Amino acid sequence: MRKMIRYAEYGLRILLTLTGIAGVLLFIFPRVAGCTPRIVVSGSMEPAVPVGSITYTCSNIPPEQIETGDVIAYKLKNGIAVLHRVVKKDAEKEIWVTQGDANETEDPAAVSYGQYLGKMVFHVPYAGYVANWLQKKKILFLAVAAAVLLLIVHPTGEERRQIT
């Protein structure tokens, strides 16, 4: 029975460590680098960017550097953020024409540099489903609380060896 508890404890520690590393890599590090994670909720960019993906858009890339073929995030007048590919660029007017990869036609309105939120630099397919679930269920809080409790109840290393 003790062995089973030790294996369960070890497995939980590994799971919590990997979750912490994933959290840092997926949410904290990108923000420090000037990127914003966004969850894709529509299929307009499929198959390149599937629904449920987390995209990372960097606002520190100036609009002047955006070229045809780049995927950008921009804000509509109603405040909704959109992620579409640039299909035409007019540097003089400071606008782009965009289109979702899954859409047959270009977007009806041009996108001005002022609407620009950032260039997509990478995405993690389907990770948004997990992020949404964690946010809704407050699982992250519970995981951190469990890790702290585990460390308090079951000391590690030298302390543990001296106890047994």
Residue 137 is predicted with a pLDDT of 65
Pick from 158, 164, 110, 149: nearest CA to 16: 149
Residue 146 is predicted with a pLDDT of 72
Residue 108 is predicted with a pLDDT of 95
Architecture in CATH for domain 35-125? Ribbon (2.10)
Instruction: Pick left, alpha or beta for residue 53 (phi over 0 → left; psi -120 to 50 → alpha; otherwise beta).
Output: beta
Residue 140 is predicted with a pLDDT of 64
Q: What is the mean pLDDT of each run of 10 residues along the chain (164 residues)?
A: 79 77 72 87 96 94 97 96 98 97 97 98 89 70 70 57 50
Token pair belonging to 29: 């590090």
The C-alpha torsion from 47 through 49 and 52 to 56, rounded to 10°, is: 170
Rg (CA), the chain: 22
Question: Mind listing the pLDDT tens digit for each residue in 53-74?
Answer: 999 999 999 999 999 999 999 9
Q: Where are the domains of the chain?
A: 1-32+128-164, 35-125
Residue 152 is predicted with a pLDDT of 67
pTM of the model: 0.71
Cβ atoms of residues 139 and 133 within 8 Å: yes
